[in-house]
Structure 1
Amino acid sequence: MPQPDRADVVAITGASGRIGRRIVGRLDRPGRMLRLIDTDLPDRLEDDDRWGPGLDADRVALRRASIEHERDIRSALDGADAVVHLAALASERPWADILRVNIDGTQKVLEAARLGGATRVLLASSIHAVGFADPTDAATTRVLVPRPDTFYGVSKAAVEALGSVYADRYGMSIVSARICNFGAGDRPGSGRGLAHWFSPADAARLVEAALALDDGRHHIVWGVSANAPNAFDLSAGRAIGFEPQDDAFALTADPDGVEPEPYTPSGPIGTMFTDDEHPLGGTW
């Protein structure tokens, strides 16, 4: 099999995680090599169906590596043109753990991507980087300034800052995606969950938009679908070619005409994670 051009090698950290499992299959296509990076991987692609059926083993490479280990992640990212960085602690943890994995780990990934020749990177940020923002501001402001609601949210604000410095210093095209309520299934929940829903298909569309960039800049965009309440200003994403197509409220429409639970914005967009029931450094 001919080796793909350098520009066709896409590395995905955290490929076995909740988001990775749902988007890897959607990124597979002729002429592209996917390099799946995680600490939990099968010995062979054929031995595992965690990414769903239909992945072409000839276009997929498996690399066991931790983002905490500089030598391993540099080897895993060497020669990749683009990096989709999903690996992280995905919820609140003690500060030392958040610092070690989410912040130091992301710096190691970006440095390895730079040294390995990658020119495009998508970083998984989070709504929790701006969790204390007001819903009205989220709906009307192109890019909110960081207002993290937890140490986890602080780490995602730091991820965005790292993306900015690597873009400005080295001319890499980097997108920080403030992921909202990622849909682990094909159908969202109700109420606020509908307004914040991010479908797997739209997540893949956002990755493709990031992979097509070549402007040497850093962009902060919402990782959310085009849900009917218009709870988020989607203009920054559309400016880089990300046009979400799914609408949680349309997907949950009852065949008998019963409307889904309405979305009534109230309180900070980080919801319960801004209150005393979720103390800094606790676990979710």
Structure 2
Amino acid sequence: MRVPAVLADADVVARRNLTKIKRVPDLLVFTTLQPIMFVLLFSYVFGGAIGSALGGGGSAGEAYREFLMAGIFAQTVIFGATITGSALAEDVKKGIIDRFRSLPMAPSAVLAGRTLSDVVNNVIVLVVMSLTGLAVGWRIRSGFLDAALGYLVLLAFAYAVSWIMAWVGMLVRSPEVFNNASFIVIFPMTFIAITFVPLDTLPGPLQRFAEWNPVSSVTQAAREQFGNVIPGTPEPTAWPLQHAALYTVLWALVILAVFIPLANLQYRRSTSR
């Protein structure tokens, strides 16, 4: 099938998924409530304790909010990528995938449309989170282009992760199993990183893991692009954090190169049963 036809089919599937959000707004409401709650809790509950270790002038809470927001952004868009796998597992369970199979459309368009619609969902969530961050005192201290690149890095990495989730979602064929499995992996990945605490506060072995953890690099890249690196904090010594944006992009490209074919192969296997 020609590429324009595949893109047209993917657009139809993406619109179908976005229409579902419009008709069931609870999905978007609860997707945004969790990150808002994280911003408020971490800012005001842990801000004083952790912020005092950051320095950077001003109050401890203000310093921590500068440090925190990029980590919250990274965690949220990665968790947002799990919607892809959960929704696909639900479609398989309800037989929606079998209906797609009976239509004259490209098989790859189903996964492409699903992942693209979840990018739109992440954009909406990032807008809501940014407004929440501004309300609690966070500020973007760089130029417009730098900030736009920070958001782009976050969305690109989340898009790559969504293809991993698509593959897993087609494997497990149950949204309940998928949600439990993804939480077990993603939760420690987003916490053993520089998302919420400085690197030097972690024990030695966890520091090594955090330095090479791509969640740390996407957080560091966003922090740098937003101008939220706290003055006086130690310069990173590990290569991934010294070249955070490049390391993140490399991870995203590798993930896409591996999991787009795997997800499409698993889709064909699922629909052939």
Coarse TM-score class (shorter-chain normalised): under 0.3
Q: TM-score, normalised by structure 2?
A: 0.28
Larger helix proportion of the pair: 2
Larger strand proportion of the pair: 1
Structure 1 or 2, whichever has the larger Rg, is 2
Larger RCO, structure (CA 8 Å, separation 6 or more):
2
